[in-house]
Amino acid sequence: MFNYLIVVVLFWCIGMVLTLSAFFVFKSDNKFFLMTGSIASMSGYYFIILSNNNVSLLYILFSLFPIAIILSIVILHISRYTSQFQFILVTLALIEMVKRFEFHFDRITGGSYGVRLSTLSFDSIYLKIFLILFVFALVYFINRINYTRIGYLWEITGLTPLGAQSIGININKIFLISALASGFFSCLGGLIYIISYGYLHPNDLSNDLGLMALSAAIILRGRNFLVKFTLSTFVLFAFREILRFADIGNTVRFAVYDLILGIFLVFISIKFNNTLIEKRNN
């Protein structure tokens, strides 16, 4: 029972970290960053391959985070030259591309069989508990940052980039910091996934996780950050993991995920429309 609980909470933590990754980009640049799941997946494969070849953990971490960060900066560079609409389409295409390569490079990624972490050094309950506590502390820290000067500057940049520029904020610097943070969190999500499951399949960390993270991130704008964050990530991620242990077939399980995600997305879009209409009426 305890192990089961730990697995559910760890998946919740992965969701939280991926949501933070999407949230950083959404808040500073107003762009819908869907690639969190893909970057997490790539970093997961990188971690598994290196650790299976007995490369030291320190070296993996030192090489892994810069790669993820560079990748997210490249993607965000694309975002500077595309509109929000085009950016969504391009990222959707890139996600599909990454997924296909992961599926078909079966010598490296195991293809449709997935790949397993052969070293057992990460299979420690204390490490998992430490990760859970670390993620919760991180979320609390980000919540605190929201109410500081940096948090307000960050919010202003996202709401009106031109306005922020006119009062002397270097918006490019804020975009860059957001990109770095986003890459870091995506990569962390992949790492936590590998440490908690020790196995990765191309379907595990894919576009639907990125979408879930994004839909949770959209809700976070405004007040009550912690409440919204906890509730949305619980419904989207922890509930998904609880279903894994329910005695229903895989097909039905994935379909139920789809239903939850779909209802959430439709709810968000309708809610935003109502908010806009209310604002206009006021």
Partner 1 sequence: MNYQIFLNALATSIGYSVFSLALYGQFTYLRMISISLVTSVIAGAYGCNYAYLMTNNPTISILCGVICGIILGFCGAFLHIKIGREKEVMGLLGSFGYFVIIQGLITIITGGGIEAFKFIPPVSSNMLCSFTYPEWLLFGLIISVLLNVLYIIFQKFFSLSTKAIATGDNYELSKLLNLNPRKIEINIQLLCGGIAGISGIIIAFDKGLHPDLGYDIILKAFAILIVTGLNIYLLFFWSFFLALIESIATYLFDGQIGQAVGLSIVVLIVLITILNKNIQISRMKVKLKEQVLSV
Asked whether position 150 contacts partner 1 by CB under 8 A, the answer is no
Binds partner 1 by CB under 8 A, chosen from 52, 86, 124, 148: 86
Asked whether position 144 contacts partner 1 by CB under 8 A, the answer is no
Asked whether position 243 contacts partner 1 by CB under 8 A, the answer is no
Tell me the sheet residues that pair with 199.
116
Asked whether position 103 contacts partner 1 by CB under 8 A, the answer is yes
Q: What is the DSSP code string of the chain?
A: -HHHHHHHHHHHHHHHHHHHHHHHHHHHH-----THHHHHHHHHHHHHHHHHTT--HHHHHHHHHHHHHHHHHHHHHHHHTS-HHHHHHHHHHHHHHHHHHHHH-HHHH-GGG-EE----TT--HHHHHHHHHHHHHHHHHHHHHHTSHHHHHHHHHHH-HHHHHHTT--HHHHHHHHHHHHHHHHHHHHHHHHHHHSEE-TTTTSHHHHHHHHHHHHHTSSS-HHHHHHHHHIIIIIHHHHHHTSSS-HHHHHHHHHHHHHHHHHHHHHHHHHHHHHHHH-
String marking each residue 46-85 x if it binds partner 1 according to CB under 8 A: --------------------------------x--xxxxx
d(CA 91, CA 189): 19
Asked whether position 90 contacts partner 1 by CB under 8 A, the answer is yes
Asked whether position 108 contacts partner 1 by CB under 8 A, the answer is no
Residue 275: count of CB within 10 angstroms of its CB: 11
Residue 192 or residue 219: which is nearer to partner 1 going by CB?
219
Q: Segment near partner 1 (CB under 8 A), from 89-97, 140-148, 188-196, 236-244?
A: 89-97
Asked whether position 237 contacts partner 1 by CB under 8 A, the answer is no
CB of 105 to partner 1, least distance (A): 7
Asked whether position 94 contacts partner 1 by CB under 8 A, the answer is yes
CB of 145 to partner 1, least distance (A): 26
Q: Segment near partner 1 (CB under 8 A), from 2-10, 98-106, 115-123, 185-193?
A: 98-106
Asked whether position 93 contacts partner 1 by CB under 8 A, the answer is yes
Residue 225 or residue 264: which is nearer to partner 1 going by CB?
264
Asked whether position 32 contacts partner 1 by CB under 8 A, the answer is yes
Closest residue by Cα to residue 190 from 2, 30, 75, 35: 35
Q: Segment near partner 1 (CB under 8 A), from 3-11, 58-66, 92-100, 130-138?
A: 92-100
Task: List residues near partner 1 by CB under 8 A.
Answer: 32, 78, 81-86, 88-90, 92-94, 96-97, 100-101, 103-105, 211, 215, 218, 251-252, 254-259, 261-270, 272-273, 276-277
